[in-house]
Amino acid sequence: MIREEKDESRHDPVGKTPRRPTINDLAEAVGLSKGTVSRALNDYPDIAESTRQRVKKAAQRMGYQPLSHAQAIRTGRVRALALVLQIDEYDGQAPFLTNFLAGLTQFASGLGWTLTISSARSEAEMLEVLGRLIDERKTDGFILPRTAVNDPRIAFLQARQVPYVLFGRTQYGVKDGLAAHSWYDVSGEEAMRLAVQRLADQGHQRIGYIGGGNQYNYSHLRREGYLTGLHESGLPVDHELIHARARVQADGRGAAYEMLALQHPPTAILAATDMAALGACAAVRDAGLRVGCDVSVIGYDGIPEGAAAQPGLTSFKVDLFKAGEQLADFLIRQIRGEDPGTLQELAFAELIARESDGPPAMSSAQLRTRLDSLKTNPMGGYT
């Protein structure tokens, strides 16, 4: 006869499926009360860090997972963060999504939290989606990317008393307007200031600027940085060289055409986004000029398309993985009771120097002569 060995593992009453470890099992294993174990798993500040780690390691070893519905009843939380993307945006927010989502999800999952991602096709639908996620108890708080100067999402969530964290600042020009908000942002204004300084040091006297749309807070800040850079470099402000709204490549291309058609064209163009900068590069090439020699171009974002461009686009790179991590950290800490006004950080972009900028090969006057001699009019933008 073949003797069957007794299976000592936990089973359900039928004896086929291993029984899920309970919080009582975990409490018995670590020699603590069920209440202490629960508070340790939920990171209550009155539980010592060493105890929290001991309980979590034991839970991982045993395969203990709290039932989400039971935990929601007990704590009032579902341990879920939410991100709603507005898909009518110019690029579907694609340039930042991959690394950004990786940072968000890895940090959240490391603490046992999940991320819910939804989409909306308009501002009105955005508020509907936010409300539905709240009413259905699918999230404890929201990450709000790409903040507007006057952002309706903020007022909506404040009225519902739901935690949120901003990726970017808001309320441009309002003193102390962010006192009560939790936010993480990258200083685009400092990047623009440094970009102007870099171009001025190379010898450029006429530097154009392509902004990203006045409804967004970042666009105002980056324009402010451009103007500060001109002032610090002793260069005059020429409003003919400033284009406020260009967020896709076609817009950047059109803005650059207009600049190159001026009587005194710029020898360098600075763009608030890489997408607009790549459009400007296309306009320079279409005019029969060399990017990085006849006309320099610098962008901001550090998207992969900039590295693949010919010549490579000089840009300021944003660490989006870190941004995702920090936003998840701030939001979870806020949900656990920390003051949102203390959860704020301003980071800085990294200059990635490539071949799209350099000392000017000619002055603005010489560039005008060169453009006239080429008699190039690919888009009808020259006179």
So where are the chain's domains? 10-64, 80-186+320-348, 188-318+351-374
Looking at the structure, give the CATH architecture of the domain made up of residues 10-64: Orthogonal Bundle (1.10)
Positive/negative CA dihedral, 59, 60, 63, 65: positive
pLDDT score of 95: 54
- The three state secondary structure string of 31-52 is CCCHHHHHHHHCCCCCCCHHHH
The CATH T-level fold of domain 188-318+351-374 is Rossmann fold (3.40.50)
> CA 160 → CA 127, 326, 337, 344, distances in Å?
11, 24, 16, 22
**Closest C-alpha among 108, 123, 118 to residue 84:** 118
Local structure of residue 312 (DSSP, 8 states): P
CATH for the 80-186+320-348 domain, from 3.40.50.1360, 3.30.450.20, 3.30.110.30, 3.40.50.2300 = 3.40.50.2300
| Same topology between domain 10-64 and domain 188-318+351-374 | no
Q: Give the neighbor-by-neighbor strand order of the sheet with 141-145.
A: 114-120, 80-86, 141-145, 164-167, 183-186, 344-347
Local structure of residue 344 (DSSP, 8 states): E
CB-based contacts of 338, cutoff 8 Å, min separation 6: none
Q: What is the rounded distance in angstroms from the CA atom of residue 183 to the CA atom of residue 143? A: 9
Q: What amino acid is encoded at 332 in this protein?
A: I
> CA 240 → CA 196, 259, 263, 266, 312, distances in Å?
17, 7, 10, 10, 27
Q: For the whole model, what pTM was predicted?
A: 0.78
Positive/negative CA dihedral, 18, 19, 20, 23: negative
Main-chain phi, psi angles of 345, to 5 degrees: -150, 135
| Crossing angle (nearest 10°) for helices 34-41 and 49-62 | 90
**Closest C-alpha among 235, 210, 191 to residue 353:** 191
pLDDT score of 176: 54
Please give the chain's pLDDT, 383 residues, in tens.
Answer: 333 333 333 444 444 446 678 888 888 898 998 778 878 877 777 788 888 889 888 888 888 766 544 454 445 678 999 999 987 655 544 556 889 999 999 999 998 899 999 999 888 999 999 999 999 999 999 999 989 989 999 999 999 999 999 999 988 766 555 667 899 999 999 999 999 999 999 999 999 999 988 888 999 999 999 999 999 999 999 999 999 878 789 999 999 999 999 999 999 999 999 999 999 999 999 999 999 999 999 999 999 999 999 999 999 999 999 999 999 999 999 999 999 999 999 999 999 999 999 999 999 999 999 999 987 454 444 43
End-to-end CA distance of the chain: 100
**Closest C-alpha among 148, 94, 91 to residue 123:** 148
pLDDT score of 97: 82
pLDDT score of 25: 86
**Closest C-alpha among 319, 345, 341, 336 to residue 113:** 336
Q: What amino acid is encoded at 29 in this protein?
A: A
Residue 245 burial class via C-beta count within 10 angstroms: exposed 0-12, middle 13-18, buried 19 and up: middle
Bridging pattern class, strands 314-317 and 350-352: antiparallel
pLDDT score of 381: 42
Main-chain phi, psi angles of 270, to 5 degrees: -110, 130
